[in-house]
Amino acid sequence: MVIKKARLTIDDKTLELDILSGSLGPGVIDINSLFKSGYFTYDLGFNSTAACESKITFIDGDKGVLLYRGYPIEQLASQSNFLEVCYLLLNGELPTPKQYQDFCKEIAHHTMVHEQISNFYNGFRRDAHPMAIMVGVVGALSAFYHDTLDINNPEHRAISALRLIGKMPTIAAMCYKYSIGQPFMPPQNHLSYADNFLHMMYATPCEKFAINPVLVRAIDRIFILHADHEQNASTSTVRLAGSTGANPFACISAGIGALWGPAHGGANEAVLNMLQEIGDIKHINKYIARAKDPNDTFRLMGFGHRVYKNYDPRAKVMRETCHEVLDAIGLHDAPIFKLAMELERIALQDDYFIEKKLYPNVDFYSGITLSAIGIPTNMFTVIFALARTVGWVAQWNEMISNPYRLGRPRQLYTGYKERDYKDIQKRND
């Protein structure tokens, strides 16, 4: 809806631009027609640019609000479960009991991977980073489902969504099993989504396996909290790849690649690496000083966020879960967790972090929680990718179901002007 007009005057010409209003959030100046004036806009890191319209997730970074389809994340994390949240993100509404039951059954129906998929793992070194394996295996799924790759067919898109959500825990757990040389464990469809994942991670064929329900609940919460986060770097990557008409498995694989970086999904792994590097409570002040030094590239991993300039609402919930897990397994006094809590305390009182609004983010607490559960650090981002798959798929599907255009950003070119090619013999060393 157009709420008012903005006027942009360049030389003696004035352009009238619509200011659109969404249901929540700031007004958005529609610059779609601007390129006709001979000008582009310059927006490093897309700080001020809305590249799409979406009804899925809303964030108010200043107030610390996160809504999935209008529902506050705190309510979903405490009252719902991951598969219900998946249904909500994909379909826009919470399911009825029958819809929920059918959805769980459909997801369970897609948990196994084709036997040939197992062969892909053998092609990787045992010490390969599991994210490297995941990018490859998820992209390779497109080679298995030729029958449902028509992106313009809503039924094909729906089946691809179920396949991706159903298979991600299996693929992720296989990455881990491969790295430690244990046999792959098949999915157990009578277990909940989170329980099944932990079963495939930790069970072996030689003994019975049961896990503390507090840990299952923590994993389910991590999945809920990471399920979607509107147009972040990996989701925008999925949309951009999707706008070319690429198949969903290729698009999700692109998203996994984007998530891998330490400024995004790799942050929880980076948190644990940082804690190990700090090593002892007595070194914290030295590292805080390094984080504040403008000439030092070191940053406190797990602190700060591009959008939240207030406490990340997911971090609040995750902090609670983190303490529940540490209590349940009696690890509160383990040196690395004591170090993490002391770092949190000191950073929250430090003027530099207060002034720059650098609060601990969800990755700070999810990293500590996953580590306490016994998940190896290189699996942290894999778990994030598993959880975010539903968000990527929901965003991709929303884009394809509506009118969209090929994503093609512009640039401010600062290279050479046109010049003539010089024969190699005529160039001086």
Is 195 or 269 the residue whose CB approaches ligand ACO more closely? 269
CA distance 220 to 387: 9
Exposed/middle/buried for residue 175 (C-beta within 10 Å: 0-12, 13-18, 19+): buried
Between 44 and 424, name the residue whose CB sits nearer to ligand ACO.
Answer: 44
Nearer to ligand ACO, 201 or 267 (CB): 267
Task: Name the residue with tokens 């090929």.
Answer: 406
Nearest Cα to Cα of residue 68 among 50, 46, 86: 86
User: Shortest distance, CB of residue 306 to ligand ACO, whole angstroms?
Assistant: 4
Q: How far is the CB of 273 from ligand ACO (least distance, A)?
A: 12
* Continuous segment of H or E residues that includes residue 74: helix 73-79
CB 385 to ligand ACO: min, Å: 12
| Cα gap 183→190, rounded to integer Å | 21
Q: Return d(Cα 208, Cα 210) in angstroms, integer.
A: 7
Q: How far is the CB of 218 from ligand ACO (least distance, A)?
A: 17
Question: Rounded to 5, what percent of the chain is helix, strand, coil?
Answer: 55, 10, 40
CB of 314 to ligand ACO, least distance (A): 8
Of residues 174 and 379, the one with the C-beta less far from ligand ACO: 379
Q: d(Cα 370, Cα 387) in Å, to the nearest integer?
A: 14
Please give the residue whose beta carbon sits closest to ligand ACO in the complex: 304
For the beta sheet containing 28-29, the strands, ordered from the edge strand earlier in sequence to the opposite edge, are 2-10, 13-20, 28-29
The minimum distance between CB 137 and ligand ACO, in angstroms, equals 23
How far CA 202 is from CA of 13, 185, 206, 373, 378, in Å, comes to 67, 9, 12, 11, 16
Q: Which residues contact 300 (CB under 8 A, 6 or more apart)?
A: 274, 287, 288, 291, 343, 347, 353, 358
CB of 226 to ligand ACO, least distance (A): 7
| Identity of the residue numbered 15 | L
For 287-320, give the DSSP string.
HHHHHH-TT-----TTB--SS-SS--HHHHHHHH
Give the nearest distance from C-beta 10 to ligand ACO in angstroms.
29
Of 258 and 326, the one with the shorter C-beta distance to ligand ACO is 258
Active site residues: 264, 305, 363
**Cα→Cα distances 307→53, 58, 118, Å:** 18, 11, 39
Site residues (vs ligand ACO, CB under 6 A):
263-265, 267, 291, 294, 299-306, 356, 358, 361-363
CA count, 13 A, side-chain hemisphere, 179 = 21
Nearest to 325 by CA among 359, 334, 130, 187: 334
Rounded to an integer, what distance in angstroms lies between the CA atom of residue 113 and that of residue 133? 15
Minimum CB distance to ligand ACO smaller for 141 or for 278: 278
